[in-house]
Amino acid sequence: MTVKIFLCCAAGMSTSMVVNNMRKVVTAKSLDIAIEAYSISEFEDMLPRYDICMVAPQVSYKFNDFKKRCDESGKACYKIEMKDYGMLNGEAILNQALSEI
């Protein structure tokens, strides 16, 4: 079964680089994981389609709202660590998501 992760961000430029780095790790480790990025305005539409929501640091002010909705829907929701996001550390962000499910 494919684990589906979506990252919530503002505009998506830096987040798309994070997603690409996460996908490289998925490919290198032959993991069955799908990863996409969406703006916060798409959160409600995307939530039913994914298992895990990861909230980018620049929109962390939305985390409590997103976490509540994820909890209500039986989905996981995590804040991406600023350090890992800033360094585009896809492996650390992916490990954070997978270690908490």
Catalytic residues: 9
CB 37 within 8 A of CB 16: yes
Spatial distance between the Cα atoms of 68 and 88, rounded to a whole number of angstroms:
27
Residues 6+ apart with CB under 8 A from 2: 32, 33, 34
